[in-house]
Amino acid sequence: MIKNGKLFGKINLFDLLTILLILVLVFAIGMKFLTDKETKNNTVEVTYELKVESVRDVTVNAIRKGDKVYHYQLDEVIGTVEDVKTEPATDPMNTLSGEAIEVPIEERYDVIITVKGEALRHSNGNLMIGKVKLVEGAKFRAATLFANCEAQVQNLQWK
């Protein structure tokens, strides 16, 4: 099969490997350009809210409009803070008569952070920001420069 360094006596083994390497590089470069065009065409602007429950005022004050928001575990930017709303945090409690009521928690707040960013919309309908899949109701640890907390995605909208 290999005779005098030539495959089947006709082609040099080194030349064959060089040709294969060139073909792989051409294929990889072609795929890169094709997927970039698909990505640009499927990029959508997303706006969603992150609900953070029962945090102290220190955390509330650390979240500011214009801050970048990161997925804490993946260290990926998932948008920019557009608005921050707070309301007193509550906890469900049963009264002696058995009635369920919401009781305010002292010095704790629920925060709604409106986030705006760009996502890739796949053909199956999934919205992805980098490695982060945006799904209504998903929970993950979100972070800004000065705060990080458990957040839940809600009111997901895209254009």
Residues 20-38 pLDDT 10s: 899 999 988 887 776 655 5
A 10 A CB-CB count for 40 gives 9
A 10 A CB-CB count for 35 gives 10
CB burial of residue 9 (10 Å; 0-12, 13-18, 19+):
exposed
**Average pLDDT in the 129-140 region?**
91
Backbone phi, psi, residue 121, to 5°: -95, 115
- Residue 123 is predicted with a pLDDT of 82
- Residue 64 is predicted with a pLDDT of 94
- Residue 159 is predicted with a pLDDT of 85
